[in-house]
Amino acid sequence: MIITRQREWQRVLDDLASVGARSVFVVGCGECATAAHTGGEPEVAEARERLSAAGFAVTGSTVPEVTCHAGGVKLEARKHAATIDAADAIVVLACGAGTQTVADAVAKPVFPGLESAFLGTVVRHGVFEERCQMCGECVLDATGGICPVTTCPKGLLNGPCGGMWDGMCDVVRDRPCVHVQIRERLAQQGRDVARTLPPKDHSKKLKPAKLSVRASGPSGSAR
Partner 1 sequence: MSRLRDALERGEFVITGEIAPPRGADVSAMRKTMGLVGPLCHALNITDNQGASLHMSSLGACLVALEMGFEPIFQQTCRDRNRLALQSDLMAAWALGIENLLVVTGDDARSGDHPQAKGVFDIDSTHLLQIASGMNEGQDMQGRPLAGKTGFYLGAAMFPEAEPWDAQLARTVGKIEAGARFFQTQAVFDLDKLARAVDAVHAHGAKVIAGVLFLRSPRVIDFVNAHLAGLMVPEHVARRIRQAADPLEAAIDLAVEQVAAIREVADGVHVMPLGLDARVPEVLERAGVVPQR
Please list, in sequence order, all residues whose beta carbon lies within 8 angstroms of the beta carbon of residue 145, skipping any fewer than 6 positions away: 185
- The reply on whether position 135 binds partner 1 by CB under 8 A is no
- The reply on whether position 197 binds ligand SF4 by CB under 6 A is no
- The reply on whether position 171 binds ligand SF4 by CB under 6 A is yes
Give the total of residues touching partner 1 (CB under 8 A).
28
- How remote is the C-alpha of 128 from its chain's centroid? 11
Residue from the set 177, 182, 183, 186 that interacts with ligand SF4 by CB under 6 A: 177
Q: CA 111 to CA 114: how far, in whole Å?
A: 9
Compute the chain's Rg from CA coordinates. Answer: 22
Give the total of residues touching ligand SF4 (CB under 6 A).
25
Give the per-residue SS3 of 137-168: CCCCCCCCCCCHHHHCCCCCCCCCCCCCECCE
b/e sequence 24-45, b meaning 16+ C-beta within 10 Å: bbbbbbbbbbbbbebbbeebbe
Contacts to partner 1 from residues 159-218, by CB under 8 A: 159-167, 170-171, 177, 179-180, 183, 193-194, 196, 198-200, 202
Residue from the set 152, 182, 183, 186 that interacts with ligand SF4 by CB under 6 A: 152
Residue from the set 111, 160, 182, 183 that interacts with ligand SF4 by CB under 6 A: 160
In three-state secondary structure terms, 198 is coil
Q: Which does 183 bind (CB under 5 to 8 A by kind): partner 1, ligand SF4, none?
A: partner 1
Q: Which residues bind partner 1 (CB under 8 A)?
A: 153-167, 170-171, 177, 179-180, 183, 193-194, 196, 198-200, 202
